[in-house]
Chain A
Amino acid sequence: MTNAVTPTVDLRSAVVLSGGFPLLSGVDLQLLPGSLTVITGVNGAGKTSLLRLLAGLVALSDGNGTVAGIDLKNGDLRELRRRVGWLGHEGSFYDDLTVRENLTFAAKALDRPLIEIERALQRVGLSNRIDTVTKKLSAGQRRRLALSWLLIRRPEIWLLDEPYASLDDEARTFFDALIADVVRSGATVVLSAHDKLRSEALQPRTIVLGGGRIVSES
């Protein structure tokens, strides 16, 4: 009897097309629970597309894949979206709502207790901006807001698109500690970055993408 751990992410020759243009052109990838993976590559290499595929936000055009046990071709992508946590580099909230209103909307949509909102904001250091309208937050603060939302949700897969963009050194250290915690708790974390990660707290697997394919791995 084998005791193999089922991968959270299992992609086989995954192809993603957009308007006839290949964003991913045959990606094979297996990720285990409690793992941290960094995807790097130049602009247009396919980093965001890969993350969006794993989040169920774009359709798999060819090949096969499962994420959190859900088939990317024939499975319920809405259920997949509920199970992954997504942090995009655009900042992902309604600009005209306050921090509290944004988080309350999201928490109610997913049946999470509202009490966790303040706790999560405290953890990311944003409690003092709870009644600020989101469009008035700085880029770094928006990133913290998005993180607080992921803390409330506690998804089994964290997909973070360029999370280090617009973070200062202090915020980076804080962020690394938080990710280390999340990985320890057994979640699968995939993040994209321009360069290899230079972090003492984290020892990730690094995948280099180029032209929509995996070029190298370390």
Chain B
Amino acid sequence: MKQLSQRLFGPLTLTAMGVNLVLGLWIVPPDKVQGELARLVYIHPSVAWVALYVSFGTAAISSALYLWKRTRSVVMDRVAHCAMEVSVVFIALTLITGSIWGRPAWGVWWVWDARLTSSAILGVLALGYLALRRANDDPQLRARRSAVFGVLIAINVPIIHFSVQWWKTLHQGATVFTSNRTLLIHGIQAWTLLISFIAFTMLFFWILRYRYRLEVLRENIAGASLEEALSARRREGAQS
């Protein structure tokens, strides 16, 4: 059963992505104000949702579970690492799609908008996480430091978000809900948006799964060379 769901996950993800593209690009009518440009709403918000909530959330939870002694395991470290790596890709996509949308809307590629600025800052933090991993060779030390930084990133998300938001905001207001939780868009637009969120979330977990597998394979190769190093070290001892 588990194997079947694993096998189906890929095709299901691709189907969801396909449905999202067809609905978003062809079926949904263009917006009255923004025209064809508004079709980015079926990509940009869901990519940002994956980048800043799903992937950061996954990395933060697995980092916290690594730090808690009862749940500390190499699996948590791997998940945090892989999720953060995927999040860098999604943050880059968020910034790129945001800029593409912003150029006709605001007239420039970059504006000092709150969400854009905070996404860029969080993107640098995610890159910092990967840099921190590269800077530490010892696997245990690397896992501990990365886990602490993973938790720090999660704490920084609201602090950066509010500080930048209070600093300045230009970004388009809430797209789906008003401040009192009334739905702003209806019918096929709302459904397409919902599908886009589901499709990109599935895409994230699909990529994460493959990245995780790749990491396990990489560690296996490193493990094999460790065995080799251990026996070489022993031979070295026998000779001296």
**Residues of A near any B CB (own CB < 8 A):** 15, 17-22, 25-26, 41-42, 45, 59, 209-213, 215
> In the assembled complex, how far is the CB of residue B62 from the closest CB belonging to chain A, in whole angstroms?
21
Contact A20 B238 (CB under 8 A): no
Contact B230 A59 (CB under 8 A): no
A141–B64 Cα distance when bound, in Å, is: 46
> In the assembled complex, how far is the CB of residue B223 from the closest CB belonging to chain A, in whole angstroms?
9
Q: Which chain B residue lies CB-closest to A24?
A: B233
Contact A211 B235 (CB under 8 A): yes
User: With a CB–CB cut-off of 8 A, which chain B residues contact A17?
Assistant: 138, 226
User: With a CB–CB cut-off of 8 A, which chain A residues contact B235?
Assistant: 211
Contact B233 A18 (CB under 8 A): no
21 A-B pairs in the complex with CB atoms less than 8 angstroms apart = A17-B226, A18-B137, A19-B137, A20-B137, A22-B226, A25-B233, A26-B234, A41-B240, A42-B240, A45-B237, A210-B237, A210-B240, A211-B236, A211-B239, A211-B240, A212-B236, A212-B237, A213-B234, A213-B237, A215-B237, A215-B238
Q: Does B73 contact A (CB under 8 A)?
A: no
A111–B193 Cα distance when bound, in Å, is: 65
Q: Which chain A residue lies CB-closest to B231?
A: A25
> In the assembled complex, how far is the CB of residue A156 from the closest CB belonging to chain B, in whole angstroms?
27
User: With a CB–CB cut-off of 8 A, which chain B residues contact A59?
Assistant: 140
User: With a CB–CB cut-off of 8 A, which chain A residues contact B238?
Assistant: 210-211, 215
User: With a CB–CB cut-off of 8 A, which chain A residues contact B222?
Assistant: 20
Number of A-B contacts (CB under 8 A): 53
Size of B's binding interface in residues, CB under 8 A:
17
- Judged by DSSP, the binding face of A is strand
User: With a CB–CB cut-off of 8 A, which chain B residues contact A209?
Assistant: 237
User: With a CB–CB cut-off of 8 A, which chain A residues contact B131?
Assistant: none
| New contact pairs (4) apart from A21-B229, A211-B237, A211-B238, CB-CB < 8 Å | A20-B225, A45-B240, A210-B236, A213-B237
From A18, A26, A215, B138 is in contact (CB under 8 Å) with A18
- Judged by DSSP, the binding face of B is helix
> In the assembled complex, how far is the CB of residue A158 from the closest CB belonging to chain B, in whole angstroms?
26
A17–B222 Cα distance when bound, in Å, is: 13
A45–B237 Cα distance when bound, in Å, is: 8
A209–B238 Cα distance when bound, in Å, is: 10
Contact B230 A22 (CB under 8 A): yes
A42–B229 Cα distance when bound, in Å, is: 19
> In the assembled complex, how far is the CB of residue B74 from the closest CB belonging to chain A, in whole angstroms?
13
A15–B238 Cα distance when bound, in Å, is: 17
> In the assembled complex, how far is the CB of residue A75 from the closest CB belonging to chain B, in whole angstroms?
13
User: With a CB–CB cut-off of 8 A, which chain B residues contact A22?
Assistant: 226, 229-230, 233
A15–B234 Cα distance when bound, in Å, is: 11
A211–B232 Cα distance when bound, in Å, is: 8
A41–B234 Cα distance when bound, in Å, is: 14
Contact B233 A20 (CB under 8 A): no
Q: Which A-B residue pairs are the 4 nearest by beta carbons? A: A211-B237, A19-B137, A211-B236, A210-B240
User: With a CB–CB cut-off of 8 A, which chain A residues contact B230?
Assistant: 15, 22, 25-26
Most chain A CB within 10 A, of B138, B222, B239, is at: B138
User: With a CB–CB cut-off of 8 A, which chain A residues contact B139?
Assistant: 20
Q: Which chain B residue lies CB-closest to A42?
A: B240
